[in-house]
Amino acid sequence: MGHRHELVTKYSRQAPRYTSYPPAPHFMDMEHPQRALDLIDERNSVARPLSLYIHIPFCASLCWYCGCTKVITRREGDSTAYLKRLYSELESMSSRMNSGNRVVQLHFGGGTPTFLTPDELRETGRRIRDLFPFERDMELAVEIDPRRLTEDHVRALAEIGCNRASIGIQDVREDVQKAINRIQPMETNERTVRWLRDAGINSINVDLIYGLPFQTRESFEDTLAAVKTLDPDRFAIFHYAHVPWMMPSQKLLDRHPMPDAHEKFAMLEMMIANLTSSGYSYIGMDHFARTGDDLSLAQQNGTLQRNFQGYSTRADSDIYGFGMSSISQIGDGYLQSVKDLDEYHRRIDEGLLPWSREYYLTDDDRIRRHTIMRLMCDLELDFRAVGDLWGIDASSYFAGSLAPLEDMAADGLIDRTPHGLRVTETGRMFLRNIATAFDAYYGDPQKKARYSRTV
Ligand code: SF4
């Protein structure tokens, strides 16, 4: 108990979530749009599997904990105007694609994708399919907000080929929901799952958040018990990222009692024990999947991937993001679209590229990205394998990482193996901390201030 208390105190630090490397704060203002186009053309000189991400930024009301890039509105016309530009962006990018490319993964995120009307969803799905040929067993996932969902939305999703739904629930208790301005009775969640299953969308993820006002280990156990009655295939349980200096609405949460780092750590321990004893495997650092689910198998086989959508089973595909604020990961480049809605519209209307930020990996970034992603997915590193892949002596290459790693080994977060390291059960709860040992940019205090705490 004493040791655990010390660990939490020591490692509750600001650190990236490593959905990219380098993390997005290191992307730079775009100076060479032609370089981005050259990269896309070069990647399309051969046929490849593709992942597409579609950002629908609109939400009907603001959840005060939210850290996403969104636009709060209740005007339906806003989505019509946005979709016009989105279609134009899709069309212009599709003309650069190799005709042999196949979409293996399509993800609608937000904001709220189901802010669109059912017919807008149908039209968007049809257009994407016309422009980007789909692989037969592709995954089409949509983030769903049950609060304004209708059964016709669900029918529309099924018609466009949706086979995975991520349902945002966060917490089922009323006191928590009031404090975060997101009232969502359990009946609404049950109805959503029933509609999805009736429509043949059988792969159901539930998103929860821990670290919100009024939550305790016991209250969150109640939430887990309620959500398990929905029988989801996967849980994504995110640590609430409290960054009120970047997201002012989060200041409204400070009025209420919030769980401290030690309580949050107890919640994490509870949920791991609870879900792993209920037939779920613990994936990476914040996902749980039914034993036998693709994500569990990918973790066992060493083929798990990590990208902007979290953990994924689809390897080796370039990710093309569409819509404001979306991020593309194409070969060794990252491109991010403008975050302002009017500016996005203006750029598309004027025939300009939507991106305002870019990053191209250096040789060192490539090695570190690979190393950090394998650590986050496999929970172990074999320096010989890393060295063979990149033609380096990994032990000396990462000599600068050794001091923090020795410290983490002494704290019981990792075990040193003859040729690398393995993350311990305790260490899994500090995975972001362990990854920082391989992050060449982690010392930058300005960027660090933008990250949330690890515990
Ligand atoms: S629905 Fe999602 S994106 Fe929209 S405000 Fe709430 S948390 Fe943010």
Single-letter code of the amino acid located at 321: G
Ligand 1 midpoint to CA 169 (Å)? 11
- Amino acid 93: pLDDT: 98
User: Which residues are paired to 333 by β-bridges?
Assistant: 330, 360
Q: Where are the alpha helices (DSSP H) in 160-260?
A: 174-180, 186-198, 217-228
Whether 139 shows a pLDDT value over 90: the answer reads yes
Q: How far is the CA of 112 from the centre of ligand 1 (A)?
A: 7
Distance 181 CA to ligand 1 centre (A): 10
Ligand 1 pocket residues where CB is under 6 Å: 59, 62-63, 66, 68, 70, 110-112, 145, 168
CATH of domain 24-360: 3.80.30.20
Tell me the backbone φ, ψ of residue 55, rounded to 5 degrees: -100, 120
Atom 8 of ligand 1: nearest residue by CA position: 66
Cα separation, 280 vs 293, in Å, equals: 9
Cα–Cα distance, 398 to 401 (Å, whole number) = 5
Atom of ligand 1 nearest to the CA of 67: 8
Tokens of 361: 């990996």
Would you say 98 and 46 are in contact if contact means Cβ atoms under 8 Å apart? Answer: yes
Which of 56, 58, 59, 253 is the pocket-test mutation for ligand 1 (most atoms within 8 Å of CB)? 59
The answer, yes or no, to whether residue 2 has pLDDT greater than 70, is no
How many angstroms separate the alpha carbon of residue 147 from the centre of ligand 1? 11
Alpha carbon nearest to ligand 1 atom 6, residue = 63
Rounded to whole angstroms, how far apart are CA atoms 198 and 379? 37
Q: What is the pLDDT of residue 308?
A: 84
CA 41 to centroid of ligand 1, rounded, Å: 35
| Domain segments of the chain as ranges | 24-360, 363-442
Question: Which residue's alpha carbon is nearest to atom 3 within ligand 1?
Answer: 111
Mean pLDDT of 282-294: 92
Overall size of the chain counted in residues: 455
DSSP 330-370: ETTEEEEE-S-HHHHHHHHHTT--SEEEEEE--HHHHHHHH
Q: Is 82 exposed, middle or buried (0-12, 13-18, 19+ CB in 10 A)?
A: buried
Which pLDDT tens digit goes with each residue over 349-399?
A: 999 999 999 999 999 999 999 999 999 999 999 999 999 999 999 989 999
- Please indicate whether the domains covering 24-360 and 363-442 agree at the CATH topology level: no
Q: Is the pLDDT score of 1 beyond 60?
A: no
366 Cα: distance to centroid of ligand 1 (angstroms): 33
Distance CA 62, CA 144 (A): 15
What are the tens digits of pLDDT across the range 225-263? Answer: 999 999 999 999 999 999 999 899 999 999 999 999 999
Ligand 1 pocket: which of 70, 177, 238 to mutate (most atoms within 8 A of CB): 70
Its pTM surpasses 0.85: yes
Could you tell me which residues are beta bridge partners of residue 382?
420
Residue 197 has pLDDT above 80, yes or no: yes
Q: What end-to-end distance do the CA atoms of the chain give, in Å?
A: 16
Residue 343 pLDDT > 90, yes or no?
yes
* Beta pairing partners, 387: none
The domain over range 363-442 is classified in CATH as 1.10.10.920? yes
**Residue 111 Cα, ligand 1 centroid: separation in angstroms?**
5
